[in-house]
A and B are shown apart, each in its own frame.
Chain A
Amino acid sequence: MRRRILLTGIRIITRAKRRAIVFVILFTFISGLMLFSLNFVWDAHSTTLLVQSKGIILRPKGFTYVSYDENLEEKLARYDDVEKVVAVWFVNLSELEDLGVNAIMVAVNPDNKWCYVLSESFDLSPSSLREGDYIAREGEIMLSSANVLNISKNATVSLRPSSILKIGKYSFHVVGMLSEDKLPNGGMNWIIAHESDVKRICEKYGLQKYVFGYIVIVEGWLFSGWDNVERVGILLKNEYKDFEVIYASANDNYRLFSPMIVLFAFSVFGCLIVGALFSYLDIRLRKRSLAILRSLGWSTGNLRLLTLAELLFVTILGFFFGLLALAIYRLFTAQIYVPLSVYTVLISFVVIMVSTQVPGGYLYQRSITKVKPVDALRLIER
């Protein structure tokens, strides 16, 4: 019975074409705004901004890199208040001429991709991706956007996403290109590969491992973890005197964060208003139909379900179009690549549903119980 009433509601709104189109457009716009703002606040925080909020970078003093010390990584991870330690380590493929590739191969773990930010000009996080995808599994690599790789002293090869690069007996699939200005300059060729692949090449050819630095993420909530950051930072400064300790926190990001919060608040407010407007117009324009159904024996609960089904349908449709709009926007115009997480989509969906259905439901509840068939039938006669 409920299913039938819900389907009837959907049928009614799809037939009220003009009203449906107007409200789907409104909900698309609002959903798009909400997804956009939450995507930035939430997902960007899990990438670059997270490191800048809770990160400490340990860099060798006076040198750009030193030999990689696995023990140091383990020691850092054992400190209280330390959530995660990620070493940015690499091998220099040109050390072995037999490989025929003149490039630095940096190891990243796709699970930790949000951590790979050492500085503004050394950013291996998804934020610096300009084309293609981030590495998701072994056998995948990313290159600098110059996309020309020296394969020997006198030979180069041009690579694009979907190209295959052979290093010794290993084949790699190019999946993405990183922005050149996010990598240290100096005429280097950069290959960013899965940690397991780099380890395998290291072991196979006996290459030396080097480290650009360690990224230490401390425990604590975003924007409130500063005490922890400072405590751990001081500890590291005292313990590792050969290293430079840099607090990654950058207040600049608050400037981006605030408008996004305002945008989010605006979209919630928009949902409340549009949801209420839809319900108000629905009851006003369809008072007669509701009264006829009431006179035919529909209960107020049945009518409430019918009208809520209409609102639910328009909202869900708007949400999916909003999602689509954001995807299109990201595809053609976005300057910063921030992947949309499932959590963002789910949370946006829940917030939109609650903020439209609650005022809508309240209005329906109030008005439908007031629809007296006899009054409405009298209205028709006039």
Chain B
Amino acid sequence: MSEPLFEVRDVVKRYEKEGREITVLDKVNLSIGLGDFVVIVGATGSGKTTLINILSGLDKPDSGKVYFEGEDMTRMSEEELADLRRENMGFVFQHFNLIPEFTALENVESPLYPTKLSDREIRTRALKVLELVGMTHRVNHYPDELSGGEKQKIAIARALITNPVVIFADEPTAALDPQSEKEVIWLLREINRKRRTTIILATHNRALASSTDKVFELKNGKLVRVSGGRT
């Protein structure tokens, strides 16, 4: 078996809330391979976002280890993690997190601004991913001129521009209408199928998972396998 993309070992994360310590992730173990479509389900506040933040290096665990392609992420500096995210990871958030001062096109291009790629190369890549998500007709619009579904498609295009090996989608459909929800999930599955991009989808809606996905459930800080994977 090839080396997993992510290897999570005994990760613990605690928060303090109103003077009480809450264990959000309690000795979580997880292995994710390249090309997997992973669905993490759980109720609101169950720790899905915390797990995604730790997997992406946006947050650090209190204890335990997270390996990405065999490298220990918990020992990396902030700048090393920033490089790792830019080169390997894409993000799709519930609240889209588009930069309001940027047009749709600039939002998609923004992860590549601090790179050595030429302006032309960045523009070509951006138009290509915008075409993939079917948003070429809205390139010059600002986020506040777009619908929720359109914003999420732009966010997906932005996640794709760096050709990431993994896309983290944290409740990507929670703020969308049913039609947009369908379109976004279909798009993520297409990306997973055609590009072999690993998708890690966190959602409270169990119905979004399909039979081929690796589904895990977070409950009381514990990660439990539901189908298709191993913890």
Query: Is B99's beta carbon under 8 Å from chain A?
Result: yes
Q: Does B19 contact A (CB under 8 A)?
A: no
Closest residue of chain A to B79 (Cβ to Cβ) is A299
Instruction: Please give the distance in Å from B153's CB to the nearest CB on chain A.
Output: 17
With CB as the reference atom, state the residue of chain B lying closest to A2: B114
Q: Does the CB pair A5–B58 fall under 8 Å? A: no
Is A373 part of the contact surface with B, judged by Cβ < 8 Å? yes
Q: Let me know if B119 and A1 touch, CB within 8 A.
A: no
Asked if B93 and A377 sit within 8 Å, CB to CB, the answer is yes
**Interface membership of B71, Cβ < 8 A:** no
Chain A interface size, as a band, is 20 to 34
Does any Cβ of A come within 8 Å of B97's Cβ? yes
* Interface core residue of A12, A15, A302, A374 (most chain B CB under 10 Å): A374
Q: Do the beta carbons of B58 and A295 come within 8 Å of each other?
A: yes
Sorted nearest first, the 10 A-B pairs with minimum C-beta distance are A297-B86, A296-B111, A302-B114, A374-B59, A374-B58, A297-B85, A12-B101, A292-B97, A289-B99, A15-B101
Contact surface of A with B, Cβ cutoff 8 Å: 1, 4-5, 8, 11-12, 15-16, 288-289, 292-300, 302, 373-374, 377, 380-381
A295 adjacent to B91 (CB under 8 Å): yes
Q: How many residues of B contact A (CB 8 A)?
A: 33
With A5-B114, A373-B58 as contacts: A381 and B100 at CB distance below 8 Å? no
User: How far apart sit A257 and B131, CA to CA, in the bound complex (Å)?
Assistant: 66
Interface residues of B in 91-126 (CB under 8 A from A): 91, 93-95, 97-102, 106, 110-111, 113-116, 119
When C-beta atoms are compared, the residue in chain A nearest to B119 turns out to be A4
B94 touches A295 (CB 8 A): no
| CB–CB A299/B114 < 8 A | yes
Which residues of A sit under 8 angstroms from B114, Cβ to Cβ? Answer: 1, 5, 297-299, 302
Find chain B residues with CB under 8 A from A8 CB. 106, 110, 113
Taking a contact as CB atoms under 8 Å apart, the answer to whether A298 and B58 are in contact is no
CA distance A247 to B100 in the complex (A): 67
List of B residues within 8 angstroms of A293 by Cβ: 99, 110
Give chain A nearest CB distance to B93 CB in angstroms: 7
Q: How far is the CA of A302 from the CA of B119 in the complex (A)?
A: 17
Task: Name 11 extra pairs, CB < 8 A, besides A295-B58, A297-B162, A298-B86.
Answer: A1-B114, A12-B101, A289-B101, A292-B99, A295-B91, A295-B97, A299-B114, A300-B79, A302-B114, A374-B59, A377-B97
B87 at the interface (CB under 8 A from A): yes
Contacts A293-B110, A297-B83, A381-B94 given; does A1 touch B115 at CB 8 Å: yes
Residues of B within 8 A of A298 (CB): 82, 86, 113-114
For B53, the chain A residues whose CB sits under 8 A away are 374, 377
Residues of chain B within 8 A of A296, CB atoms compared: 85-86, 91, 110-111, 158
Q: Which of A11, A293, A297 has the most CB of B within 10 A?
A: A297
Of B58, B86, B93, B111, most buried by chain A (CB within 10 Å of CB) is B58
Q: Are A1 and B91 in contact (CB under 8 A)?
A: no
Shortest A376–chain B CB gap in Å is 9
Across-interface contacts of B98 in A (CB, < 8 A): 292
